[in-house]
Structure 1
Amino acid sequence: MSKTLPRLTTTLSLAALALASAQAGAANWKYAIEESLSEVQGVYATKFKEVIEANSDHKVQIYPFGTLGESVDVMEQAQAGLLQFVDQSPGFTGSLIPEAQVFLMPYVIPEQQSEINYFFKNSKVIHEHFPKLYADKGLELLSMFPEGRVHITTQAPFSSPADLGGVKVRVMTSPLLVETYKAFGAVPTPLPWGEVFGALQTGMIQGQENPMFYIESNKLYEVSAVITDIGHNIFTTAVMANKDFYDGLSDADQALVQQAIAEATDYILDYQQGLEAESMAKIQAAKPEVRFVSLPEDQRVAFREASAAVKAKFVEMTGDSGQAILAQMEADLQDAKGK
């Protein structure tokens, strides 16, 4: 006993030292999203968290929308380093990074899901051009991914820009979205998300745009009569890290973050298959009288033609940088055709 005790004590000491070292290297990372945990960004963030925590001693705390303020508040916290990770769409970052608004441009992104997925995983504009622009704002761009086709909810049906005359449609705080809905004939009304349901309820606004799952989960159909697809865009979001935080990570931790991002991106693209149809079924069950409208191509023509002015406005807003971004994006989309 007296001979084995020192060895046992040494073994326990080494184990304790290893444990203490592991604990010292463990960190609590904060990740804020624009949606709830059950919505697309929440599902993505949860997968990211699972991969990080299964392969390290780090912990990831996810903050759903509303827990840390509005989108502008969350971005300021991410830039200040109070948050390590943040998920935010170009609709909100467009004022900070004007070139990001290229993802809001109507009738640019293809409608075929396979082409959309290929574009987001392989495009040079996302993986080579945008990281530099985000870095200039203290952000490390980790991923961009689609969240589904954007639909417009209104109180009355419409089939042309003329039908939207005088209709107040809520948009995110993006100058390009404002220009888009002006071109579509509506009265664009930028509002923080927390005010949208009440504004629709009181008639302050008559419409808004979002993917179908978000219309369903936030019960926007309760304060809308018609949900229309004009084929103009998909909702895109970006995952970012505070740049100083990311640059300060060890090579192993940076590799782990990249692994988690890659797995979460693959997971969310697969997760969304059939999500739009499921959401439509839930809306129909909850409110049978709601009308779903998908404009035929001959009626979409007028919206496509009106959107030409939006592309010119984007170039005017962003100059040579935006022109280069747009050219690369168009090349990437051409490469995605048929994929």
Structure 2
Amino acid sequence: MLGSVSGMAQADTWRYAHEEYDGDVQDVYAQKFKEYVEKNSEHNVQVYRFGELGESDDIMEQTQAGILQFVNQSPGFTGALIPEAQIFFIPYLMPTDFNTVVKFFENSKAINEDFVDLYADQGLELLKMYPEGEMVVTADEPVTSPSEFNGKKIRTMTNPLLSSTYEAFGATPTPLPWGEVYGALQTNMIQGQENPIFWIESGGLYEVSPHLIFTKHGWFTTAMMANQDFFNGLSAAEQKMVREASDWAFDETIEHIDGLADRSLEKILASSDEVTVTRLTEAQMNEFRKRAPQVEKTFIDMTGNGGQKLLNQFKADLKAIK
């Protein structure tokens, strides 16, 4: 692969890998970025989807090594590299109202300034963070309280804070790479997982984990970034074009996800008679919310003063938006 990559670099093709399948949200963003770059420059963009170059950890390593120029990776996996990125997994910190979420990503100082510095420390040029969808839990039976999670193994990304969240919720967190999730649900090795509803639909997870639980505890977030040495080596005009491509792809992706959850849920319900939908009441959500402070404490323990400052900025940004 390294030999072919070297040849491609001479052909002026930029390589961009993401974590999802054809037509999923990250793929929409990548294709819009590609479209803008190829329309406004002499460069070509080769997009690699999930599995074509490995899993999330693999494509990040390849980006840091300069084999890939661009990568899309969610903070769920970046948390091992940038502990502060785990902030998105503090439950009930983020709103779930679509318009509020979009305004937060557009205007947040924490998102658009503080995270840029954190990623730069790891040799990465953060170009855009964007939301993908409200997190939905699937399980082997409907769940409406933390006590009903007792004894259930819930798959998490390889992310310590997400594990802390499900411990707080009463479950047994079980980190697994994405490629093993469907089989683990099918064989009852795990009893549940969480993802945006479009991913539950496109990955067929409802087929083996049919009970959908809308807890409103957060949104799935992802980040698009470049190898910093590569980015710094671009001319000022090319850097400007790449940033404009990132912004345009963001706007196009936000338009795509508006209503996507409802459309995906309709497809799921049309495909299976076994699926149930549980939407927690405010009183039921409060039982989960009460457990959020212990996850915040875990986040501060992991990240120290820097994490505390970032959390304060998050809350200030959210307060300003609301």
Q: TM-score, normalized by length of structure 2?
A: 0.96
In the other structure, the counterpart of 1:49 is 34
- The answer to whether the 8 A contact 1:146-1:236 is kept is yes
- Residue 294 (structure 2) aligned to one of 309, 312, 323: 309
- Residue 200 (structure 2) aligned to one of 187, 190, 215: 215
- Residue 34 (structure 1) aligned to one of 4, 7, 19: 19
In the other structure, the counterpart of 1:288 is 273
In the other structure, the counterpart of 1:322 is 307
Name the aligned partner's letter for residue 282 of structure 2.
Answer: E
- Residue 146 (structure 1) aligned to one of 115, 126, 131: 131
Q: Secondary structure at the match of 1:157?
A: coil
* 1:183 CA drift (Å): 0.3
Percent of counterpart pairs with the same letter?
55
- The answer to whether the 8 A contact 1:28-1:60 is kept is yes
Q: For 1:1-339, list aligned pairs within 5 A.
A: 27-337=12-322
The whole-number CA distance in structure 2 between the counterparts of 1:155 and 1:74 is 32
- The answer to whether the 8 A contact 1:109-1:233 is kept is yes
Q: Secondary structure at the match of 1:156?
A: coil
Q: Secondary structure at the match of 2:20?
A: coil
The whole-number CA distance in structure 1 between the counterparts of 2:118 and 2:96 is 27
* 1:26 CA drift (Å): 6.8
Q: Secondary structure at the match of 2:290?
A: helix
* 1:25 CA drift (Å): 9.5
* 1:289 CA drift (Å): 2.3
Q: Where has structure 1 moved over 6 Å in runs of 4 or more? A: none
The whole-number CA distance in structure 2 between the counterparts of 1:326 and 1:263 is 28
* 1:137 CA drift (Å): 0.6
- Deviations, residues 5-60 of structure 1 (Å, cap 9, x unaligned): xxxxxxxxxxxxxxxxxxx9972000000001210000010000000000111000
* 1:225 CA drift (Å): 2.4
The whole-number CA distance in structure 2 between the counterparts of 1:41 and 1:290 is 26
Name the aligned partner's letter for residue 288 of structure 1.
Answer: D
In the other structure, the counterpart of 1:6 is none
The whole-number CA distance in structure 2 between the counterparts of 1:185 and 1:166 is 8
- Deviations, residues 175-201 of structure 1 (Å, cap 9, x unaligned): 000000000000000000000001001
CA RMSD of aligned residues (A): 1.1
The whole-number CA distance in structure 1 between the counterparts of 2:61 and 2:24 is 23
The whole-number CA distance in structure 1 between the counterparts of 2:69 and 2:26 is 16
Name the aligned partner's letter for residue 80 of structure 1.
Answer: A
User: Any stretches of 5+ residues in structure 1 without a counterpart?
Assistant: 1-23
Q: TM-score, normalized by length of structure 1?
A: 0.91
- The answer to whether the 8 A contact 1:120-1:144 is kept is yes
Q: How many residues align?
A: 314
- The answer to whether the 8 A contact 1:170-1:196 is kept is yes
The whole-number CA distance in structure 1 between the counterparts of 2:160 and 2:201 is 27
The whole-number CA distance in structure 2 between the counterparts of 1:110 and 1:199 is 30
Name the aligned partner's letter for residue 115 of structure 2.
Answer: F
The whole-number CA distance in structure 2 between the counterparts of 1:306 and 1:323 is 18
In the other structure, the counterpart of 1:8 is none
User: Any stretches of 5+ residues in structure 2 without a counterpart?
Assistant: 1-8
The whole-number CA distance in structure 2 between the counterparts of 1:119 and 1:263 is 17
Q: Secondary structure at the match of 1:239?
A: strand
- Deviations, residues 129-171 of structure 1 (Å, cap 9, x unaligned): 1111111111000000000100000011111111000100000
- The answer to whether the 8 A contact 1:37-1:46 is kept is no
